[in-house]
Chains A and B, each alone.
Chain A
Amino acid sequence: MDKVGIPRGLFYYYYGDLWKCFFDKLGVSYIVSPNTNKEIMDRGIKVSNDEMCLSFKVFLGHVDYLKDKCDYILVPRISNFGISNQTCTNFLGAYDIVNNLFDVNVLNYNIDLDKRETLKKGLFKIGRELGKSFLDIKFAYLYAMDKYKEKVKKDIEINMERLNSKNTKILIVSHPYNTYDNLIGMDIVKYLNSQNVDIIYCDKFDDSITSKLSKKISHDLYFKYSKNNLGAAIYSLDKIDGILFISSFPCGPDSLANELLMRKIKKPYVNLIIDGDMSFTGIETRLESFLDVIRRNACV
């Protein structure tokens, strides 16, 4: 039996690579739940409240899948990244919800920069709970952080290269846990790729630039991830041909921030809301007509 289980949902798409590097270097065995499939989603829907957002249901499905396959399940809590940089409420409550719903040992850390709880502190806490020495943890942390930063940099470079290509370009405005999820966003990405469209991902931009840029559209917005999305949209607005919004039903921050963005930009866009029961054919039809509009615009 592996020691730590990492659910492939929500946090995984932000910190997955970091965690994997960290545990590898630390010598802790771990298991990552497989790509989301119908069975996992059904499991999630079964245990969760029916009004929860689809991404969170999927996350709970992954936790349910892992519950008897490992000793600990890693569920962090992310409250904020300083003033005006809050996260969605589900990120705040994830730990307590999992703890109450499942009878498992939860490996937990807290990111709350308002109260000086940082990622570093969190990873050190985890290391100690797994019974590792201070030096081991420090080496693992530095190594993982290095790799993580390198990867982020590389991702941004690839994204920027694509942004300057001459092909038809579409910006996907969505949270990474929706874009890269096998059931929620991956079909859409695959379809666009097959249509010979260059996809720009809004989560692969430099945070420090995008959060500043978002002020141009919204002065009061205080959700960090939504801020990054808006900033990315403004950054690339002149270079892209259209924007594709993907959100899971019913996403809290998206319902406000995306609506504002849609009202303020003058570019073709399409808003896809995924609720788990939809067939892909309906989405495909909408994407097809969207691409037609974009290509006609480009010709004119």
Chain B
Amino acid sequence: MYNIAFPQMGDYCVPAYFLLSNILDANIIKAPKITNKTIELGFKYSPDFVCTPFKYTLGTMIECLDMGADTLIQYGGGCRYGYYAELQEKILNDLGYDFKMINLVIEGRINLRRINKLLKQIDSKYSKIKSIYYSFITLKMIKYMDEIDDFIRENVGFEVVKGSFEKLKEEMLIKFGNVKSYHELKIIYRYFLNKFKCVKVYKPDDRLRIGIIGELYTLMEPFSNYYIEKELAKNNIEVKRFTNVDYLFLRKSKRMKKYLKNNPYVKYSMGADASDNVANCQYLCENGYDGIIHIKSSFCTPEIGVMQVISKIAESYDVPIMFFSFDGQSSETGFKTRLEAFYDMLEMRKNK
């Protein structure tokens, strides 16, 4: 029996765990939450100027292997994230670990036939039909999670009883993890959506609204951005974020096609999420958001290229914008001070 592990990202370990445990007859290891120790491990063994997600995922992989995993799953994106798996495998092999690496996405393309073959090697009784059914449920689960997350982001800053949203969400994730069928998932989703809507919030009309855009891993893994959303919520700010798995998988390509037609700022796709962020920035400016925060991991090439385009747009709409670059070793206090100064400035602008 195989012990499978995968690097985690935000709360998406719940649907991933659900999917793997249902379609494979194997022992799934839940990766430990990312801590400073993880980062230290990742930094120690990574090449110098590779982007930060590489270091985070490598650190997690080492921790998983130490916990007894013998099969690792890595996924990829449209940029160099798609090439992580091969080098990480080599680095870990050089460290003396013996394991099998499965790369789900190559060059941003998902080849179902190849994945099917790989999964067959792990579990000979693996069935296609079952996995299609559970993949469908997982996709729906991710969609529901993302919808609820969007709702939370808008309201969590204004809850009357502190911590009520977080508590409810934890409850929901546990329930989601133990779902048996699509029908059950739907019922649970509706039940929790109602509950979330019933949480008492006090939303003043002159509240600050901030949009967060940037590189996908840093956006979705809260540890890597020092819990920026929580920090903003603590100060009664409504947060809007576009990037989530559901958006990247299903809605992005359609939206970009529409957006790139006759656009004054960008003519072509600039790689990964870059031109997507230009679109989001324009949307935020046009819809009256008070400020924009752009976050990325250091050395993320597409985002570096697009930063100047974004700041040009923000300037022409007269919306303040703040850039953060996280390399996992920057000081948290420095980051918090800059963030504080930013929303203080926004508040002053608003009261003028």
Contact = CB atoms under 8 A, between A and B. Distances in A.
Contacts of B84: 256
Interface string B79-93: 110111111001100
B301 interface: yes
A260 B90 contact: yes
Contacts of A256: 47, 50, 80, 83-84, 87
B268 interface: yes
A49 B304 contact: yes
Nearest to B263: A96
B268 A95 contact: yes
B272 A89 contact: yes
B48 A101 contact: no
Interface stretch (B57-65, B143-151, B307-315): B307-315
B306 interface: yes
B111 to A, nearest CB: 11
Interface residues of A, number: 42
A259 interface: yes
A51 B296 CA distance: 12
Given A53-B301, A220-B83, A92 B90 contact: no
B35 to A, nearest CB: 25
**Chain B interface size, under 10 / 10 to 19 / 20 to 34 / 35 or more:** 35 or more
A221 B83 contact: yes
Interface string B20-41: 0000000000000000000000
A249 interface: yes
A51 B304 contact: yes
A100 B308 contact: yes
Contacts of A218: 86
B85 A96 contact: no
Contacts of B308: 48-49, 97, 100-101
Contacts, number: 114
Contacts of B85: 220
Given A51-B299, A100-B309, A253-B80, A89 B270 contact: yes
Contact of B305 (A52, A220, A222, A249): A52
Contacts of A92: 268-271, 302
Contact of B268 (A77, A86, A264): A77
Interface in B280-327: 298-299, 301-302, 304-309, 312, 325
B268 A79 contact: yes
B49 interface: yes
Interface string B337-351: 000000000000000
A86 B325 contact: no
B106 to A, nearest CB: 6
Interface in A224-258: 249-253, 255-257
Interface in B83-123: 83-87, 90-91, 94, 103, 106-107
A97 B309 CA distance: 7
B265 interface: yes
Contacts of B90: 260, 263-264
Contacts of B269: 79, 92
B266 interface: yes
Interface in A51-80: 51-53, 77, 79
B237 interface: no
| A-B interface, 7 closest residue pairs, ranked by CB to CB distance from nearest | A250-B49, A93-B270, A89-B271, A93-B305, A259-B47, A89-B301, A92-B271
Nearest to A83: B107
A50 B299 CA distance: 11
Contacts of A119: none
B197 interface: no
Given A79-B268, A108-B267, A250-B299, 9 more contacts: A49-B308, A86-B107, A89-B271, A90-B305, A93-B305, A95-B268, A222-B107, A255-B50, A256-B84
B274 interface: yes
A221 B106 CA distance: 9
A84 interface: yes
A199 B47 CA distance: 27
A92 B266 CA distance: 11
A216 interface: no
Contacts of B268: 77, 79, 92-93, 95-96, 110
A219 interface: yes
A72 to B, nearest CB: 16
Contacts of B271: 89, 92-93
A215 B51 CA distance: 24
B301 A88 contact: yes
A167 interface: no
